[in-house]
Amino acid sequence: MGRASALPARPLIGFTFLGIDSMKAVSLETRKPVGKLSREDFDAFPIWQYADDEEGHDGRDETWVRPVDAASVPRRAYCHVAADFITPNEKKFFGFVTVSTLDETPEVCQGVILFNRKYLFITNPGAFGLEDSRKHLLQNLRLTEEEVFPLSFTLRVPVTGHVKYKGGLLP
């Protein structure tokens, strides 16, 4: 039996933030590749981190993530956080953003809209593949660049030590 399979299930924890109630248990069954995360996963566990220390166990690789057993984004973390997106013309979408608190101040470096069972990436300007990524996003949303950007987001959980930080804009 490997180290990862010997981990016990975590106790249930619950919290309410922005009107969302959560009751959850973190266990080995909650691990999965990041590309398989769904809205239901984020409803149950609003924060996910890479399970680097579990690579190689039971076929897991660097793409596998696990829920974070916390009601807020931890300090010194790099994780995917549930978020609500709103376009300039008030269209609403659900997804997640990648939040880094490694340098103390929260930084969001990209996002994903979960739409019609697809991952629609919100790539940073200047990133490789931006043009193709934006084209894919806009085609699937059936919106123009002006109708989507700048795209505002609100995190579904707070960031530890940054109570006033609730979200921002993706250009």
Looking at the structure of the chain, the number of domains it has is: 1
Task: Give the span between the Cα atoms of 12 and 100, in whole angstroms.
Answer: 26
86: pLDDT strictly greater than 60: yes
Global pTM exceeds 0.85: no
Q: Are 9 and 26 in contact (CB under 8 A)?
A: yes
Task: Give the span between the Cα atoms of 32 and 149, in whole angstroms.
Answer: 31
Q: What is the pLDDT of residues 129-160, one digit of tens each?
A: 999 999 999 999 999 999 999 999 999 999 99
Report helix, strand or coil for 113.
strand
Q: How much is the pLDDT for 27?
A: 58
Mean pLDDT of 44-60: 81
* Highest-scoring range by mean pLDDT, 1-5, 54-58, 100-104, 138-142: 138-142
By residue range, what is the domain housing residue 30? Answer: 4-170
